[in-house]
Amino acid sequence: MQWVSRGFAVATKIVLARILFPADFGIFALAAGLIGFVSALGNFGLDYALIQRADSAKDQEYEVAMSLRVIISIVLLVATIALAIPWSSIFGNPVIAGATQALAIVYLIGPWSLIPTTRLTVKLAYRRLIVPNVLNQFTNSVVAISLAIMGFGFWSLVVALIASQLVWVVSLSVAYPWRPRFRFDRSVAKSLFAYSRHIIVASVLVFLMTNVDNFTVGLLLGSATLGYYAVAYSICLFSSMVSGSAATALFPTLSKIQEDLPRVRRGYLESFGYAIATVAPVSIGLAVMAPEIVLVLLGPVWRPSIVPLIILSFYGFSKAMVEFTTPLFASIGRPGAIPRLNAMILVGSLGLLPPLTILFGIAGTALAMTIPVPFALVVSFLWAARILQLQFNELAVRLRGPVVAAGIAGILALGFKSVIYSVGGQDVVVLGSATLVGTVAYFVSLKRIEPELYAGLGRHLRLLMPGFHE
């Protein structure tokens, strides 16, 4: 599901980058920024609280959570409309206000997804979520590209997001038919908040951690420069495509077996190995092939995105690994570890962002975002090892094989690039051939270094297609 959705998203970004201007992406990023911040404050982590209870959650708890989300959404809508104008004045661009107020409509749409998505996630019924999520991204792609061609600029991104959310909620109701029932029970609400309060803090910190760079660039360098950075950032997250989907499934899965520590340990370690085996080659591949990716897929006008993408590729790897530990903390009832990790990254970035952005532009912004994450990664490994009753090196050593194999592949791809360029090869030829060389080199190296992990990846790939059609 996430592969298809991310594929649509990447293809859409490539097409839009050739139609819209960098400033359009910057305006949308700032408008969506306020929406995301207010939403993070008001989400309350109710979905996490329900999923963590797994099959023991009662209908009453779902109905109370749904009612709370509707009330919260109305408050968020009013607050965002009021804040939009002062928000746009901070960046000296009045058009941000209108885009922000229009995007606030998503607050009224979101609550209706809570019960179907949570119910299906608890049941691990991800096949029933495939169509709604793919339709969501497909609608976003078609609407955004169509309106961009018609000349609507950044409004094409705004309208596409609203339309895709509507399609998503309607298709969810088809995948999981349900009847809304509004109910409030103080004791149930208090019980839900007792767990979700940690997720509230974590959500706010995650939002700030992933958007403070946008705000810094928008404030110091302008919306056009922010567009270059925002596109590079969105591409770097491609490395977490597989690990992100695995982490999403890991939370409800571990929640079901949280009392069986040996089983939790086996499941987590195996999943962790597969996550590294997919994130490492993609991250290093993005760093090595960044010039060709930008110039061939996006076009020469996006050349300023190259250096930030190279740096952010390493940010994407470290961040994906940190985020892969959060399902473990959440599932066994220790959600407080999640906001502490996020706060560690945020504080480090806040101290580095202004000086590095002023000195080095968006390359400095990328550095400021990347430097703190490896430190948080070490801490997250220490905490995860303690929970799993392992030594730190028993967890960290699982990085070695995939990272070494990816490093070998990256070096070979880089050398092959040099050879092709030396004989007059074009960027598009280099992109295709060097990517192929790096991919083959990675799997050959991984098979030699980590044969068991390589075999496990093969088993899962063979299971994927028949499982998809069942």
pLDDT tens track for 118-171? 888 878 777 888 888 888 889 999 999 999 999 999 999 999 999 999 999 999
Residue 448 has pLDDT above 90, yes or no: yes
What is the pLDDT at residue 470?
A: 40
Across the chain, which distance is largest between two alpha carbons, in Å? 73
* Per-residue pLDDT at 412: 96
Question: Could you tell me if 265 and 250 are in contact, meaning their C-beta atoms sit under 8 angstroms apart?
Answer: no
Distance CA(446)–CA(439), nearest Å, equals: 11
Query: What pLDDT score was predicted for residue 467?
Result: 46
- Report the pLDDT value the prediction gives residue 42, as an integer from 0 to 100: 53
Predicted pLDDT at 324 = 86
Average pLDDT in the 425-446 region?
Answer: 93
If you average pLDDT over every residue of the chain, what do you get?
85
Domain ranges of the chain: 1-184, 198-470
- The DSSP letter of residue 293 is I
Predicted confidence at residue 468, as pLDDT, reads 43
Most confident of 2-11, 53-62, 96-105, 106-115: 96-105
pLDDT of the residue at 48: 67
Residue 80's region, left for phi above 0, alpha for psi from -120 to 50, else beta, is: alpha
Q: What is the pLDDT of residue 243?
A: 67
What pLDDT, in 10s, does the model give residues 353-411?
A: 999 999 999 999 999 999 999 999 999 999 999 888 888 888 888 889 999 999 999 99
Q: What is the pLDDT of residue 411?
A: 96
With cut-offs at 50, 70 and 90, classify the pLDDT of residue 414. very high
pLDDT greater than 90 at residue 466 = no
Give the Cα separation of 428 and 425 in Å (integer): 8
Residue 224 has what pLDDT? 87
Q: Report the pLDDT averaged over residues 449-453.
A: 90
pLDDT in tens, 172-228: 988 888 887 887 777 777 777 666 666 666 667 777 777 889 889 998 998 889 999
The predicted pLDDT at position 217 comes to: 93
Contact between residue 20 and residue 158 where contact means Cβ atoms under 8 Å apart: no
Query: Between 201 and 16, where is the model more confident?
Result: 16
Q: Residue 341: is its pLDDT beyond 90?
A: no
Q: CA-CA-CA-CA torsion for 59, 61, 64, 69, nearest 10 degrees?
A: -110
Q: pLDDT tens digits, residue range 45-74?
A: 667 677 767 666 677 877 888 888 888 888
